């Protein structure tokens, strides 16, 4: 883990997942891999968190949220954090992606998520 964690110093991920169990597991796994994680259960919570935090490097979001879509959250937060990258997770079809965005189909392993995060954040 040492080498992996060293590649991600000071990276803040905003994780939006309405399932509490899934969110808690993902927060733990991401933090174990050297990422700072802010969790949110809904689009509204995600937007509030995005406005409160200085820098969000990566949005990791489900596409279907109880009160909106991950794509809408990404578009809104992109205006506040222009350099932010977005990684969408879903069992459904991906939204139209723009540069700096990627999509993984659920169910997904943490190794695939971390690999995609590293690819997105590579300068």
Q: What is the CATH number of the domain that holds 20?
A: 3.40.50.2300
pLDDT value of position 8: 73
Spatial distance between the Cα atoms of 105 and 25, rounded to a whole number of angstroms: 17
Domain that holds residue 79: 2-121
User: Nearest to residue 114, comparing CAs of 46, 10, 13?
Assistant: 13
Q: What is the mean pLDDT of residues 19-33?
A: 94
Number of domains in the chain: 1
pLDDT value of position 123: 77
Spatial distance between the Cα atoms of 99 and 49, rounded to a whole number of angstroms: 23
Q: What is the mean pLDDT of residues 57-79?
A: 95
């Amino acid at each position: 883990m040492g080498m992996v964690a060293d590649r991600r110093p000071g990276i803040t991920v905003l994780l939006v997942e309405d399932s509490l169990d899934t969110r808690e597991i993902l927060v733990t796994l991401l933090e174990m891999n050297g990422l700072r994680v802010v969790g949110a259960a809904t689009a509204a919570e995600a937007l509030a968190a995005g406005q409160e935090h200085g820098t969000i490097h990566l949005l990791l979001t489900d596409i279907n949220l109880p009160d909106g879509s991950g794509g809408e959250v990404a578009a809104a937060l992109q205006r506040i954090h222009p350099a932010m990258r977005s990684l969408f997770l879903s069992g459904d079809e991906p939204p139209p992606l723009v540069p700096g965005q990627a999509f993984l189909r659920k169910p997904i392993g943490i190794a695939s998520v971390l690999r995609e995060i590293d690819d997105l954040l590579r300068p």
